[in-house]
Structures are given as C-alpha cells and as structure tokens.
Structure 1
Amino acid sequence: MGEAERGDAAPRLVVSYFCAHGHETRPAFAADAQVPETWDCPRCGLPANLDSANPPPPPKIEPYKTHLAYVKERRSDSEADAILTEALKTLRDRRARGELIY
C-alpha cells in the first residue's frame, strides 16, 4: 500500500534535543503541535532540552536512607534516650508482673 492509497502524510516538524552526555534526540512532531521544552534522552535517560550549548544538568540522586537515618532526623539523642528509658522501664515492669514477653 503506497502513499497514494493512504493519502498524504501529515506535515511534520523534527526537533533536536540535547542531553548532558552530548546525545542528540530528534523526535518528530505534528507541524501544528506545541513542542515540549524538555525530552528524556532514550539513550541514557537524562533530561534533554533544545539548547545544544547548555543542556540541563543530570538530576541529583539522593542516597538511600535507612529507617534509623530517618529516625535520627526526627529525634535528638536526648529524646532517644528518654524513649529508650521509658520502653525499658515498661518491659521490666511487665517482666516483674510475670507477663510473657516475646
């Protein structure tokens, strides 16, 4: 089936996007479509923009935090000591009453 049977192709606009690794991506858009400012690079996944001289920097990746790291952000050492002391007192009281503790 040729172009004569399908009709004429819609007018297209090819736009170049550039990422921080120097990759160029050239997606095609409809001629009357609004072209996005940024595009994800299909080769490396970094964001790309229309400015080849000034591509967007790679996003800053936050390191993995453990549960303890999040707790330490919310509690000071003195608060942690008070909570631990209270928990140990409760545990010792339950043991003194003869409760089973697992």
Structure 2
Amino acid sequence: MAGGNAIRGSRVGAGPMGEAERGDAAPRIVQSYWCANGHETRPSFADEQGVAAPETWDCPRCGFPAGQDQANPPAPPKVEPYKTHLAYVKERRSDTDGQAILDEALQQLRDRGLIR
C-alpha cells in the first residue's frame, strides 16, 4: 500500500497558474525552411537583438539541409560509397609505384633467403 502523504495527480510545475506564476514567455519568431524534397519546417527562435535565425536547418522528415529560400533549397549532400583500404592506396599510388614497392619487398625477402 502506498504512503498516505503523496500528493496524487500533480507534478512539479503543474497547475492552473500558467503565465502569472512562471512569468511572461520570451518573444519568439517563426522562420520557414524548405528542403530539396519540398518539406517545410517552421522552428521558432528567440527574438533577440542582433541575433539572426540560422541560414540552414536540418529537415526533421528527411534529414536533408533546408534553407530559407523556397525556390532554391540547398542541394542534398553527396553520399560516397564505402571505400576499402586498397581503394585509398590506389588513390595515392600509381600502378608503377605499386610495382616498384612490390619488387623491392620481394628482393628483400630473396636476400634473406625466405623465398627463391
């Protein structure tokens, strides 16, 4: 059985007091943003002097960046496929460089007598 001292059905900050007890809400501005898929997002920001809303905002529906110009939304980011270690090595070295490194390594093994 629960203790008899609990206040049931309420929580901290709850009640009909509203604005009178909590104070006035900060002034807000609502800014529209559009993504490449045409989704509109309308976050609200504090209306402070000298502080502007950000140029871009992430679309909560698709995750693409959204801009303030509906006719020219930002382009979606390019997704590059996963590259293997070999792909990165091939970007840094030409085939002739790779062949020279391989020949040098094979010669060292031959000098040690590990291969013929």
Q: TM-score range by the shorter chain?
A: 0.7 to 0.9
- Structure 2 gaps of 5+ residues are 1-16
Q: Which has the larger radius of gyration?
A: 2
Q: Percent identity?
A: 74
Q: Shift of the alpha carbon at 1:36?
A: 0.8
Equivalent AA in structure 2 for residue 25 of structure 1: T
> What TM-score comes out, normalization by structure 1 length?
0.85
> What TM-score comes out, normalization by structure 2 length?
0.75
Of residues 100, 110, 115, the one that matches 1:82 is 100
Tell me, in whole angstroms, the C-alpha distance in 2 between the residues paired with 1:87 and 1:27.
60
Moved >4 Å (runs of 4+): none
Structure with the higher fraction of residues in helix conformation: 1
TM-superposition CA deviations, 1:19-71 (whole Å, max 9, x none): 11111111111112311111111111110011112111101122222111111
Tell me, in whole angstroms, the C-alpha distance in 1 between the residues paired with 2:58 and 2:37.
12
RMSD (CA atoms): 1.3
Tell me, in whole angstroms, the C-alpha distance in 2 between the residues paired with 1:88 and 1:9.
75
Question: Could you tell me which residue of structure 1 aligns to residue 68 of structure 2?
Answer: 50
- Structure 1 gaps of 5+ residues are 97-102
Question: Could you tell me which residue of structure 2 aligns to residue 100 of structure 1?
Answer: none
Tell me, in whole angstroms, the C-alpha distance in 2 between the residues paired with 1:79 and 1:10.
64
Tell me, in whole angstroms, the C-alpha distance in 2 between the residues paired with 1:42 and 1:15.
15
